[in-house]
Amino acid sequence: MSLKNILENWSDYRRTAEDGGHHDYEHMWAMAIDLNKCTGCNACSVACYAENNLPTVGKKRMMKGQGMHWLRVERYWDEPDMGGDEKEYQERGGSFLPMMCQQCNAAPCEPVCPVAATYHTPDGLNAQVYNRCIGSRYCSNNCPYRLRYFNFYSYYEESWPEPLNMQLNPDLSVRDKGVMEKCTFCVQRIRVGKDAARREGREVHDGDVITACAQTCPTEAIVFGDMMDKSSKVSKIWAAHEVELGKHEQHKSDPDLRGYRVLEGLNTDPCVTYLERVREA
Amino acid sequence: MQTKDINENIAWAKINEDVLRSMENPRMGYWVAVVCCVAMVMCAVAAEIYQYQVGMGPANLNWPHMWDLYIATFVFWIGMSHSGTLLSAILHIIQADWRKPIYRFAEAMTTFSLMTAGLFPIIHLGRVWNMYWVLPYVSDRGIWPNFRSPLVWDAFAITTYLTSSALFLFIGMIPDLAICRDSARGWRQKLYTVLSLGWQGDDRQWRNFRKIYLLMACFLIPLAVSVHSIVSADFAMSIMPGWHITTFPPYFVAGALYSGCAAIITLFILLRYFFRFDEYMTIPILEKTCKLTFAIAMVWSYLNIIEFAATWYGHDMVAKELLIAKFVGPHAPYFWMMLFCGSVLPFTLAFEKLRRHLPTMFVVSLFLNLGMWLERWMIVTPTLSFSYMPFAWDVMWPSMVQWAIVFGSFGWFGLLFLVFVKVFPSVSMYEVKEMVFHRRHYHSSALANQFHRRASDPKPGDEPSKEGA
C-alpha cells in the first residue's frame, strides 16, 4: 500500500492503456468457417457445451433468452423473392450461420467494462476474467453480435445433478450467477497446446490446438489456427479469399471470392471469416 | 389576481413562525404518507432480496435485454436532480430573486433524487457484493478500474455531484438552522446547535457565507451539466444504433432540467397546500416556474426533432430501422405517449388561465414527469430489442421484480423528502426576508435611497416590477 506502488502501477496502466492494449502479439488465433459446408447440425454447439461447462437451462429459460450457448447456429429463411417459399420450414432449407465470439481486435466490449474484466491478451484473444466481472452487462449491450451470455442464475446444482458433475471439464471453472461469459476459442486447449510446445522446446505448430467446435464439425466447415503462422490452414483460407485483418472494408480482386467478416463495417476487426454460401437464386 | 411575487408587508416574525410551524407536530396525514412510503420501500427491498438471492433471472433482463428499467429509472432520477442546481445556482447567479422561497426544497430534491439514483447501478449489478471494484481504491495487486468505461465516469460524476449538492444544501441552510436552534428544545436543539456551526449572524460570518455560497454555486453549474453529459455517455459512447448519437449530452441535460422543473411544480403545489405556504409559494412564482419549464420543454422537443432528422437523413440503415420501429413497432404506444407528454402537454403551460390553476398544474406536472420517465425507457430498451443482429431481435417486458424496485424508489425518495420537511426548514427563511426587504425598496423612497448601491438595484421612485403580472 505504498505510494510508490500506486504510481508505478499507474504508469504501467497508462502505458498499456494508451495504445489500446497489446500490439506485439505472440499468436493471432482465428477461424474460417465455410458456410457451404455447414449443414446446421449443431454438433459444434453441443461440443461447446461439453467442453466449456455450459449449463443447460431448459426449454422455458431458453425461450426467455437465458440460454448459455456460446456457439449458436443462427437460422435464416429466404424471402420469397430470394428463392424461398411461404412454408414455415422451407423446402430448400434455411441458411445457417454458426456464431461464436468473433474475438474482435477492436472489440467494443472491452473499453466499456468498468472493471476491465474483459481485455485483449497477447494471443489476440478477447479474454473474459470471470473473477473480476461484476455483472454490469455493459459489454453485452455493446456487442453488435450479441454474443455474450450472462449467468442469470446459479446453474451448478440444476444443470449437473449428481453424478453429472463428474462430466465437468476440470480445465476450466463453472461460473456462478452474475457473471458474463462467452466463447474463449477454447482458451484452455490453447494453454495446453502452448505448454506442450514449450516443454518440447519448439514453436506451436498448426494443428497443435484445435477448438472443440472445429474438432467436432463433421463436415470440417470450421477451421481454427494461428494467423501469425503464414503456413497455417486458416491463414491460407484467409489469404485465398483475400480477407485481411485490420480493415473495415475488403477490396477483392475477384467478386466471386466468398470470404467476409460479419458486420465488418463497424470496424470491430473480427477474427472469424465466413465463406459465403452459394445457392441457386 | 395576485401579481406580486411576495407581499412586501409581511412581518419578519411571521416568516419565522410560518416556516417553523411547518416543522412541528406532524398531523395524521403526514404519518399516513410515511407509512405508504415505507410500504413502497419494503416492496423494493423484498424484490431486491429475492433478486440478490436467486440471481438476475427473475428481473427478466434477458438476452439481449441486458439493461431495462433499472438503468432507465437511474437516468430518470439523475435527471430530476438537476432542477435544484438550476434553481439554486443558475438563478442565484443571474439574480432572479423569485427563486428564493422555493429553492430550498428543490435543492433537497436534488440530493434525495441523487441518493435514489445511486441505488440503481448497484441494484442492477450481477454481483452487487463486488460493486466497490468500480472505484479506484488502493489495491496491493495494482488492479485499477477501467478508466475508459463510461460506467466508471458515472461513479465519479455521481459521487462528486452528490457530495457537492449535499454540501450546497447544508451551507445554504446554516442561517436558517441557527433560527431553528434559537427556538428549539430537546434533541432538536442539540441537533441544530451542531449543524448551525455556531452561527451568530455577525458581519464577518455573513461575508464568508456569501462568498462560499457563490463559490459553490459557480462550482455546481458546470458540474451539473457534466454529470448528465457523462450519464448520456453511457449510451453515446457505445456503438449501438439509437444510442450512438452526438446530440445526447445536450439532449440529456435538457431532459434533466425538464423533469426536474416538472417535479418542482409537483412538490411546490403539495407543500403550498399541506403547509399553507400560500404567502411564500405564490402563484406568480409558480407561473415563473411554469414558463421556465415550458421553455425547457421546447428545447427538449427541438433536440428530439434534431435526433430524428439526423437519424433519418444519416442513412445509417440500422439506426433508421430502429427509429421506424420506435414509431410503429411494439414500443410505439409508449413512444407516442412520451412524445405527447413531453412535447404536446407542456403547451398547457403557455396559457395563463391554466398556469394559475393549481389542480391542473399538479396533474400536468405529473404527466410531464411520466413522459420524461418514458423517454428514458424508450432510449434504453428499443435499442436492445432491435440492433445489428436480426437473430437477436427480441421484445421483452420487465417483470414484477423490476417494477417493484422502480415503484419502491419513489417511496424511498418520498420518505427522504418527508423526513426532510419535518427536520429542516423547507422554505429559506433568511432569503425570503431578503426578498421581502428588497421589495420594500419599491415602496419606501427613504429605504431605497439608503440601500441604493448597485446599478441593478431599483432606483427610488421606480415602478414595481410588472414581471409575472
Decide if pLDDT at A18 tops 50.
Answer: no
* Closest chain B C-alpha to A145 CA, distance in angstroms: 6
Segment A89-95 long-range contacts (CB within 8 Å, at least 24 positions apart) = A92/A279, A93/A40, A94/A40, A95/A35, A95/A277, A95/A279
Residue whose grid cell is 398544474: B361
Which residues does chain A have within 8 Å of residue B153's beta carbon, measured at their own beta carbons? none
B240/A contact by beta carbon, under 8 A: yes
Asked if the bond preceding B249 is cis, omega within 30° of 0, the reply is no
B54/A contact by beta carbon, under 8 A: yes
Using pLDDT thresholds of 50, 70 and 90, give the confidence band for residue A87: confident
Residue whose grid cell is 453480435: A145
Which residues does chain A have within 8 Å of residue B394's beta carbon, measured at their own beta carbons? 65
Local confidence pLDDT in tens for the 469 residues of chain B:
677 778 777 888 888 888 888 888 888 889 999 999 999 999 999 999 999 999 898 888 888 889 989 999 999 999 998 888 877 888 888 878 888 888 888 999 999 999 999 999 999 999 999 999 998 888 888 788 998 899 999 999 999 999 999 999 999 999 999 999 988 888 888 999 999 898 988 899 999 999 999 999 899 989 989 999 999 999 999 999 989 998 999 999 999 999 999 999 999 999 889 888 888 888 888 988 999 999 999 999 999 999 999 999 988 889 999 999 999 999 999 999 999 999 999 999 988 888 888 999 999 999 999 999 999 999 999 999 988 998 889 888 999 999 999 999 999 999 999 999 999 998 988 888 888 887 777 666 666 556 555 556 556 555 555 544 3
Name the residue of chain B whose CA is nearest to A142's CA.
B238
B238/A contact by beta carbon, under 8 A: yes
Q: Please indicate, yes or no, if residue B437 is contained in any of the structural domains.
A: yes
B interface mutation test: which of A19, A145, A146 has the most B CBs within 10 A?
A146
Which residues does chain A have within 8 Å of residue B235's beta carbon, measured at their own beta carbons? none
Distance CA B136, CA B149 (A): 13
Decide if pLDDT at A150 tops 80.
Answer: yes
Q: Over pLDDT 90: what percentage of chain A?
A: 61
Tell me the whole-structure pTM to 2 decimals.
0.90
**ipTM of the complex, rounded to two decimals:** 0.87
Which residues does chain B have within 8 Å of residue A159's beta carbon, measured at their own beta carbons? none
Q: Which of A1, A65, A76 is opposite residue B64, by nearest beta carbon?
A: A65
Delimit the domains of chain A by residue range. 22-275
The answer to whether the Cβ–Cβ distance between B396 and A65 falls below 8 Å is: yes
Range of the domain at B232: 12-237+248-291+398-451
The answer to whether the Cβ–Cβ distance between B149 and A113 falls below 8 Å is: yes
Which residues does chain B have within 8 Å of residue A68's beta carbon, measured at their own beta carbons? none
Q: How many domains does chain B have?
A: 1
Q: Please indicate, yes or no, if residue B296 is contained in any of the structural domains.
A: no
Which residues does chain B have within 8 Å of residue A134's beta carbon, measured at their own beta carbons? 125-127, 130-131, 133-134
Distance CA B16, CA B45 (A): 39
Q: Please indicate, yes or no, if residue B329 is contained in any of the structural domains.
A: no
* Closest chain A C-alpha to B388 CA, distance in angstroms: 6
> In this structure, are strands A29-34 and A272-275 parallel, antiparallel, or unpaired?
parallel
Distance CA B138, CA B135 (A): 9
Q: What is the DSSP string of B441-462?
A: HTT-HHHHHHH--STTSPPTTP
The answer to whether the Cβ–Cβ distance between A152 and B140 falls below 8 Å is: no
A150 backbone dihedrals φ, ψ, rounded to 5°: -115, 140
Q: What is the pLDDT of residues B378-388, one digit of tens each?
A: 999 999 998 89
Q: What is the pLDDT of residues B278-314, one digit of tens each?
A: 888 888 889 889 999 999 999 999 999 999 999 999 8
Q: Give the fold, CATH level 3, of A22-275.
A: Alpha-Beta Plaits (3.30.70)
CB-neighbour burial class of residue B298 (10 A; exposed 0-12, middle 13-18, buried 19+): middle
